[in-house]
Amino acid sequence: MRRAIELAAFGRFTTSPNPNVGCVIVKNGKIIGEGYHHHAGGPHAEVNALNMAGDNAKGATAYVTLEPCSHFGKTPPCADALINAGVKRVVAAMQDPNPQVAGRGLHKLLSAGVDVSHGVLMQEAEKLNVGFFKRMRTGFPYIQLKLGASLDGKTALATGESQWITSRASRQDVQNYRAQASAILTTSETVLADNPSMNVRWDELSDNIKTIYPKETLRQPIRIITDSQNRVTPEYKITQLAGECWLARTRSENSDWQGDVSEILLPTNGKNSGVDLVLLMMQLGKRNINTVWAECGAHFAGALLEAGLVDELILYIAPKILGDDARGLFTLTPLSALSQAPEFTIASLEQIGPDIKVCLKPRY
């Protein structure tokens, strides 16, 4: 199962909106087949492993990081493929929370006389697909908020200058995260201020990722911009680059877009006439977005946090001081007591080049 989990992770740049799944087939103590899911629409992990095992799969044990599917999606059911290959025993790390599967895959195997167990390395298997599982269980995507700041928690000078507070190494780390996200979320404020690309640049990924993620298979996460005032126009890079770009707006307006741009229409939030962020996230869930990687300024960061939408805060801290005039990380409704301060627990702490990276979980 450990090997199956290792294999599953090879798919993390390409499987969205599908989950990462790995499979190992064992007979007489030897691995006779291995596979993982590469991309949605392509064969599932079990099918790739069965193809490698061939006729030898008869009487073997299959270790899978997720319950084999039981439904006809873009591909036929893996449970049937395992049964037809004569696999004797199936060990799954966990059940598939997808309502189309949800136990039916294991039941199908059991009914066909296959010896079935599940719950092996379940916690590790959960970590493979935080976004997919959250979407399947709640309808909402998993939201990671990335911020970069100085030691004194400042993100830009009073003039707005912010390029570059954190180091090249941190920016490369950001590229690695972007590459794994279903979507990258930013605001018209950031687009108008910085004209950012918000895409994945293969050349800037870490070398160890490049070796497992060939340039030809590069997938661009969908770029999503909150744009309640229709301020984003075709002149901005983010609308021109390869890949889809979705504008979250409150009223439709056609423009002569060069790129693949479309609108998501939403009600306003009633607070500051921005788009309703909870409804936006529900819409993104419906559109099969598993994970959202948000990069934005203090207003939007504060709005996401106050709406309870941040699952994980990834903070890069550069060892420099910008002083009191500089801009802060979060704009919040003024606090009248320390007990109202949003709190976090530290999930991990790491040095990236000259910077510090802290991954935090909000304690809502």
Which amino acids are annotated catalytic?
46
Write out the residues near ligand AOF by the rule CB under 6 A: 18-19, 21, 37, 40, 44-46, 66, 68-69, 73-75, 78, 96, 98, 101
Q: Is the dihedral of CA 345, 153, 178, 242 positive or negative?
A: positive
Taking the least distance from each CB to ligand AOF, the nearer of 98 and 182 is 98
Q: Cβ of residue 281: shortest distance to ligand AOF, in angstroms? A: 19
Could you tell me which residues are annotated as the binding site for NADP(+)? Answer: 148, 164, 190, 194, 228, 297-303
Q: Which one of Zn ion, ligand AOF, none interacts with residue 12, CB within 5 to 8 A by kind?
A: none
Contact indicator for 61, 25 with CB cutoff of 8 Å: yes
Pairing verdict, β 183-187 and 291-295: parallel
Taking the least distance from each CB to ligand AOF, the nearer of 23 and 238 is 23
Give the SS3 label for residue 17: coil
Instruction: Kindly report the length of the chain.
Output: 364
Q: Cβ of residue 131: shortest distance to ligand AOF, in angstroms? A: 12
Q: Give the long-range contacts of residues 342-351, CB within 8 A, separation 24 or more.
A: 342/305, 344/313, 347/312
Q: Is 78 among the residues that bind Zn ion (CB under 5 A)?
A: yes
Q: Which stretch binds Zn ion (CB under 5 A): 78-86, 123-131, 137-145, 165-173?
A: 78-86
Q: Cβ of residue 214: shortest distance to Zn ion, in angstroms? A: 24
DSSP alpha helix (H) spans, 181-233: 188-194, 207-212
Q: Read off φ and ψ for residue 138, nearest 5 degrees.
A: -125, -15
Q: Cβ of residue 26: shortest distance to Zn ion, in angstroms? A: 19
Q: Which one of Zn ion, ligand AOF, none interacts with residue 40, CB within 5 to 8 A by kind?
A: ligand AOF
Q: Cβ of residue 43: shortest distance to ligand AOF, in angstroms? A: 8
- Which residue has the CB atom at the shortest distance from ligand AOF? 73
Taking the least distance from each CB to Zn ion, the nearer of 69 and 280 is 69
Taking the least distance from each CB to Zn ion, the nearer of 15 and 155 is 15
Q: Which one of Zn ion, ligand AOF, none interacts with residue 182, CB within 5 to 8 A by kind?
A: none
Smallest CA-to-CA distance from 13 within 162, 208, 282 is with: 208
Tokens found for residue 298? 């203090």
Smallest CA-to-CA distance from 267 within 255, 253, 250 is with: 250
Taking the least distance from each CB to ligand AOF, the nearer of 80 and 306 is 80
Taking the least distance from each CB to Zn ion, the nearer of 44 and 104 is 44
Q: Is 69 among the residues that bind Zn ion (CB under 5 A)?
A: yes
Q: Which stretch binds Zn ion (CB under 5 A): 71-79, 125-133, 154-162, 259-267?
A: 71-79
DSSP alpha helix (H) spans, 42-129: 45-53, 78-84, 104-111, 122-128
Smallest CA-to-CA distance from 315 within 329, 305, 303, 325 is with: 329
Q: Which one of Zn ion, ligand AOF, none interacts with residue 45, CB within 5 to 8 A by kind?
A: ligand AOF
Contact indicator for 26, 34 with CB cutoff of 8 Å: no
Could you tell me which residues are annotated as the binding site for Zn(2+)? Answer: 44, 69, 78
Q: Which helix (H) or strand (E) holds 7?
A: helix 2-9
Tokens found for residue 267? 């009600």
Q: Cβ of residue 25: shortest distance to ligand AOF, in angstroms? A: 13
Q: Is 90 among the residues that bind Zn ion (CB under 5 A)?
A: no
Contact indicator for 92, 33 with CB cutoff of 8 Å: no
Q: Is 249 among the residues that bind Zn ion (CB under 5 A)?
A: no
Q: Which stretch binds Zn ion (CB under 5 A): 1-9, 42-50, 196-204, 254-262?
A: 42-50
Size of the residue set binding Zn ion (CB under 5 A): 3
- Greatest CA span in the chain, whole angstroms? 70
* Sheet arrangement for strand 89-92: 30-36, 22-27, 61-64, 89-92, 115-118
Contact indicator for 277, 310 with CB cutoff of 8 Å: no
Among 37, 38, 44, 118, which residue interacts with Zn ion (rule: CB under 5 A)?
A: 44
Which residue ranges make up the site for Zn ion (CB under 5 A)? 44, 69, 78
